[in-house]
Structure 1
Amino acid sequence: MRKIYEPENMMEGELLQAMLASEGIESHITGRHLLGAIGELPVSGLLGLAVEDGRAEQARQLITEYNGAFLLAGDEPDSYPDVLLC
């Protein structure tokens, strides 16, 4: 397995992991058990998203496209501007 991305937090890591799974790419979040040691360990660089070597390029491309996506006009409700309801 190869580390392809460093999520900012566990929520982002799990969201990207689910997105990759929907595309048939199995992934693993490394460092999730180190989060409880913040204060003793450096705050950044603890989490990583890893995939099989043969799927790394495809996974990187999907994450790049995901991070570059913009909201489409009309995706946010009028009663809650700048808030996307899921």
Structure 2
Amino acid sequence: MQRVYEPQDLMEGELLLSMLASEGIEAHLTGQHLAGAVGELPACGLLAVLVEDEQAQSAQALIAAYNAAQPLPGEEPESFQGTLLC
């Protein structure tokens, strides 16, 4: 297995697992049980998304597309320009 991404938090990690699964890529999230120890452990590098070696390149491309995504024009409310509402 290869480490293809380090999510910022558990929520992003779970989102990426679901996205990869929807594309047929089986992924695993490591370190989720260490998230409760933040403050006693280093704050970065705890979480990692792992995939099988033969799916690593596809997973990295999907994650790169996820990170490069921008809101569609016209979907921003005028009162919150520049702020992405989820």
TM-score by length of 1: 0.87
- Post-superposition Cα deviations, 1:48-70, rounded to whole Å, max 9, x if no partner, equal 00001100000000000111011
In 1, the alpha carbon distance for the partners of 2:48 and 2:84 equals 28
- For the 8 Å contact 1:2–1:53, the answer to whether it is kept is yes
Give the number of the structure whose residues are more often helix, by fraction: 2
Give ranges in structure 2 of 5+ residues lacking alignment: none
Q: Separation in 1 of the partners of 2:22 and 2:28?
A: 14
Q: State the match for 1:25 in structure 2.
A: 25
Instruction: Output the aligned Cα RMSD.
Output: 1.5
Number of aligned residues: 85
Aligned to 1:15: 15
4+ aligned runs moved over 6 Å, structure 1: none
